Amino acid sequence: MLALVDDDPTYPMLFRRALKLEQLEPELQVFKDAEAADAYFAGGGEAALLVLDLNLPGMSGLELLKVLRGRAETARLPILLHSYSKEPENVAAAYQGAASGYIVKPQGLPDLRRLVRALHDHWLVFNETE
């Protein structure tokens, strides 16, 4: 299962569309804020990959990353921070927080399709975390 945390209501819809256009059908769980995602994982929820927006209302993506890395059940969960920002300090903060990667959000559907294909193939097909 793929989990996506993003407060922009349009982005998850585009993400789902890109998955469908690429003929990829992983289960996608969408959370509109970090608190909802935290409650899901604290309650025993699982995912093969978490794509986490950096800038969220309330708890930020970096704050949720720290919480999840501090919890034994999610310490090894692949977590990719994503944002429209290319600022080096944001990238550095993500890796300092033990993110598995940092992705700049694509601007259009063709690039988003390439991104979801790459995420699927690398993290859901070929990657082993156990």
| pLDDT tops 80 at residue 39 | yes
The H or E element spanning position 101 is strand 101-104
| pLDDT tops 80 at residue 47 | yes
| Residue 58 region by backbone torsions, left for phi larger than 0, else alpha for psi between -120 and 50, else beta | left
DSSP β-ladder status, 2-5 and 79-83? unpaired
| pLDDT tops 90 at residue 17 | yes
d(CA 73, CA 48): 12
pTM (whole model) above 0.85? yes
Sign of CA dihedral 26, 59, 106, 13: positive
Residue pair 43/17 in contact (Cβ under 8 Å)? The answer is no
How do residues 84-126 score in pLDDT, each as one tens digit? Answer: 999 999 999 999 999 999 999 998 999 999 999 999 999 988 8
Domain boundaries, given as residue ranges, for the chain: 2-126
| pLDDT tops 70 at residue 130 | no
d(CA 38, CA 59): 10
Arch. (CATH architecture) of 2-126: 3-Layer(aba) Sandwich (3.40)
